[in-house]
Chain A
Amino acid sequence: MLETQLRFEGALKTRQQGNGDYSFYLSLLLLLMTAFIYTPSSFAQEKFSVSAKNSQVTFAGVHVGMQFSGVFDKWNADIVLPPAASPQILATFYVASAKTGDSTYDSTLPEGDWFDVENHPKSIFESSQIVAKDKDYAVTGTLTLRGISQPVAFLLKNNETTLTASFTIDRLAYNIGMESDPDAEWVNKEIKMTLTLQKQ
């Protein structure tokens, strides 16, 4: 923004010298307009809601040595980031909406031993602390899946139009697939979560 301003001022000077008052006011008007347009982005929005409509939460893992990944089709989150007074992230996931595109996985995931969607249709993430770190945010909180709460921490990266994060959870800590594969002989226990949240 500073650069644009400088450029404008440069243009301003040459025009002043060349064409007189008329272009001076025009340039001033343009400068004011650009200042107006650029203002909102200089104060990053601190409060917003995201959902599957504009953002993405994916999970990925390895089954018998083969990569798989999926998305949650139904979830929503309310986000308040520093420097707001009480920063918080509260997200609700409907685990039945997890889709991998593989019919075997998609019909197994909702079952009792995996997501157990019948008894635990919702998964909740609630932050306990959000600290601004350079231009990013260090987030710690609790993820509840299958009724089991575990601490998670991740760095929410502040990009131009998105907030992104990726972190790993241990499926066995949530008793996911505990009966089918407790030793992670078939499905790796590390599940990589990736968040891509649209800033509004």
Chain B
Amino acid sequence: MFVSGLYMVNADISKADQYKLFQIHKAAGVVMLWTLFVRVCVRIFTYAPELPIEFSKSDKKKAKAGHILLYIAVVVMPLSGWLMVSASPFGLPTFVFVDWIKWPHIPGVARNKMIETIANNIHWITASILGFLIIGHIGAVIWHRNKHGVNLLDRMWWSKTKR
């Protein structure tokens, strides 16, 4: 999504390719939104493992804050994109890869240039922040592995080892 987003906005490509890439990006965004919906449900309704005991109090706080920020960012991404598309002066529909799945626009914002601009800014600023958060997130996994010798991937993935 990062690559396609940056490419379709900045790259020197033909209008046709740009248009097609936009439609793919929009469709993929809807899939992302649904995936996130499932993810948030899983997070709310199932058990999430505690943070490892090796962590200090401040580590735990930072980890919690980082995770909350990650959730906020990944939810804001598709929502701001959806808002931007809904408010776009082009008013183009969003089809999720096939003609028979038409994703609706958010009502009440059609052709609203101001809302589109705001949503556009939220979209790319959040994308930049999310980029750093992801780097931080992966960095933290590596750092804890080296410092505490814990494999944090175990608590992210389906794992048989009880923690």
Within 8 A of B (CB), among A37-72: 63-66
Give Cα A115 to B93, complex, Å: 16
Residue of A whose beta carbon sits closest to that of B100: A103
B interface size (C-beta, 8 A): 15
Query: Does B91 lie within 8 Å of A64, measured CB to CB?
Result: no
A residues apposed to B, CB below 8 Å: 63-66, 103-104, 107-108, 111, 113, 179-181, 186
Q: Which 9 A-B pairs have the closest CB atoms?
A: A64-B15, A103-B99, A64-B19, A64-B16, A107-B93, A65-B16, A180-B90, A66-B16, A65-B15
Give Cα A181 to B89, complex, Å: 9
Cβ of B161 within 8 Å of any chain A Cβ, yes or no, is: no
Main secondary structure of the interface of A (DSSP, over half): loop
Chain B nearest CB from A66 CB (Å) reads 5
Chain B 5-34 near chain A by CB (<8 Å), digits 1 or 0: 000000000111011000100000000000
Interface centre among A63, A64, A179, A186 (most CB of B within 10 A): A64
Give Cα A111 to B95, complex, Å: 17
Chain B nearest CB from A110 CB (Å) reads 11
Among A104, A108, A180, A186, point to the contact of B15 (Cβ < 8 A). A186
